[in-house]
Amino acid sequence: MRLRKTLLYFGKKLLLFLVSVFALSIVVFWISRLAPGDPLVAFYGDRAETMSPEQRAWATERLGLDDSIPVQYVRWLQNALHGDFGISYQYKQDALQVVAGRIGNTLLLGGAGFLLTFSLALLLGVLCVRFEDRLPDRILCKLGTFSSCIPEFWLSLVLLLIFAVYLHVLPSSGAYTAGKAGDVGDRLRHLILPLTVVVLGHLWYYAYMIRNRLLEEVRADYVLLARAKGLSRRTVLFRHCLRNALPAFLSLAAISVPHILGGTYIVETVFSYPGLGTLAYESARYQDYNLLMLVCMLSGAVVILCSIAAQIVNERIDPRLRDPETEAAA
């Protein structure tokens, strides 16, 4: 009985994921088709401007854009379910191949940014709680408030101006220097500025969230009992408070994925870093429908999956969020 309810619980989450992805595909497909622009320019370049009406009609039919939007969507969905996401108009190759060549860079930049952000945020949060209302805590809180108000694109431009234009110590764009794709050191040099912006753009906000959560634990009744038994504040903080705050920390990490992913896409665009962010910008700008759909669906699926994961964690943490079936499965 318990196994059946557990399977039912996770089956509902899976159904929620599939329905959400399906709804996202409809919205993105319709909006991309209704956006102004000419997809023929992405495929044929400047030649599209000199095409006769007959040539344009033939080219539109060749790309499958002559049918109504509902018909186009049904055809795209059928092909997508078989693993065929169409050809990229701009790159003249399979959209999956284009994404496969860029997704590694986004995983490297976004993954490293995510791990560094939460590792440093946890350290800063613990430091603030350890020295609550003292000079380190006040400095970090003020610095965090100031830095969180700085837009990522502005910070990117400032760092580019200083380290790439004036000092010439770091590259301004790309993932590696031409001809050095296998040079790890060169790749790391190209990663420094984008990674710095990704981390600084999110670090202080999450450090402040962790600080506040730990302060709630520090003020709990069991902490007073532990202190009354002779345990030091430091021992209670590291041995008990951190352990009890860990589920909330994991939930916060899952919820933060859309935030950090969006920041990564912005940074990639500013630094011309060849990842999914630049692909999303280019495909939207040039009406590369198939590539845009694939990038949006991948990004949306990750966001939806992490949101559902955060919901599951929250339901485990707080019984008030559980429905009867969820509580029976827990």
Residue 296 reports pLDDT greater than 70: yes
| Six-digit token string for 155 | 């910070």
Residue 280 lies in a domain: no
Residue 226 lies in a domain: yes
User: How many other C-beta atoms are found inside a 10 Å radius of the C-beta of residue 297?
Assistant: 17
Residue 166 reports pLDDT greater than 60: yes
Same-domain check for residues 176 and 315: no
Same-domain check for residues 208 and 154: yes
Tally of domains in the chain: 2
Q: Which residues contact 92 (CB under 8 A, 6 or more apart)?
A: 43
According to the model, what pLDDT value does residue 231 have? Answer: 80
Same-domain check for residues 78 and 128: no
Q: Are 44 and 62 in contact (CB under 8 A)?
A: no
Same-domain check for residues 52 and 121: no
Q: Are 306 and 104 in contact (CB under 8 A)?
A: no
83-132 pLDDT, tens digit each: 999 999 989 899 999 999 999 999 999 999 999 999 999 998 888 888 88
Q: By C-alpha distance, which of 254, 252, 265, 255 is closest to 298?
A: 265
In 3-state terms, what secondary structure has residue 94? strand
Compute the distance between CA of residue 100 and CA of residue 117 in angstroms, rounded to an integer.
26
Residue 239 per-residue DSSP state? I
Compute the distance between CA of residue 296 and CA of residue 19 in angstroms, rounded to an integer.
16
To 10 degrees, the CA torsion angle through 254, 257, 259, 263?
A: 160
Domain end position, chosen among 252, 275, 298 = 275
Domain end position, chosen among 229, 248, 275 = 275
Same-domain check for residues 108 and 194: yes
Residue 177 lies in a domain: yes
Residue 17 reports pLDDT greater than 90: yes
Residue identified by tokens 């007959």 is: 54
Residue 40's domain comprises 1-90+286-330
Same-domain check for residues 49 and 73: yes
Residue 281 lies in a domain: no
Same-domain check for residues 315 and 205: no
Same-domain check for residues 147 and 57: no
Structure confidence at residue 330 as a pLDDT band (50, 70, 90) = very low
Domain end position, chosen among 251, 275, 299 = 275
Residue 304 reports pLDDT greater than 90: yes
Same-domain check for residues 107 and 164: yes
Residue 320 reports pLDDT greater than 60: no
According to the model, what pLDDT value does residue 108 have? Answer: 93
Q: Measured in Å, how far apart are the chain's first and last C-alpha atoms?
A: 12
Residue 329 reports pLDDT greater than 50: no
Same-domain check for residues 173 and 315: no
Residue 326 reports pLDDT greater than 60: no
According to the model, what pLDDT value does residue 204 have? Answer: 86
Residue 97 lies in a domain: no
Structure confidence at residue 40 as a pLDDT band (50, 70, 90) = confident
Compute the distance between CA of residue 176 and CA of residue 25 in angstroms, rounded to an integer.
33
In 3-state terms, what secondary structure has residue 38? coil
Same-domain check for residues 58 and 158: no
Same-domain check for residues 142 and 246: yes
Q: Which of 40-54, 72-86, 138-152, 311-325 has the highest mean pLDDT?
A: 72-86
**pTM for this model (two decimals):** 0.85
Compute the distance between CA of residue 42 and CA of residue 283 in angstroms, rounded to an integer.
9
Q: In CATH, what number is assigned to the domain containing residue 261?
A: 1.10.3720.10
Q: Which residues pair with 168 in a beta bridge?
A: none
Residue identified by tokens 């896409």 is: 265
Return the percentage of the chain with pLDDT > 90, whole number.
38
Q: Fill in the amino acid letter for 143.
A: L
Residue 140 lies in a domain: yes
Residue 98 lies in a domain: no
221-238 pLDDT, tens digit each: 888 888 888 887 778 888
Q: By C-alpha distance, which of 121, 229, 236, 108 is closest to 175?
A: 108
According to the model, what pLDDT value does residue 78 have? Answer: 94
Task: Please state, in angstroms and as integers, the Cα–Cα distance from residue 25 to each residue in 30, 69, 118, 158, 259, following that order.
Answer: 9, 13, 31, 37, 20
Q: Which residues contact 164 (CB under 8 A, 6 or more apart)?
A: 170, 171, 172, 193
Residue range 149-171: mean pLDDT, rounded: 90
Residue 95 lies in a domain: no
Q: Are 98 and 291 in contact (CB under 8 A)?
A: yes
Q: Give the chain's radius of gyration (CA, Å).
A: 25
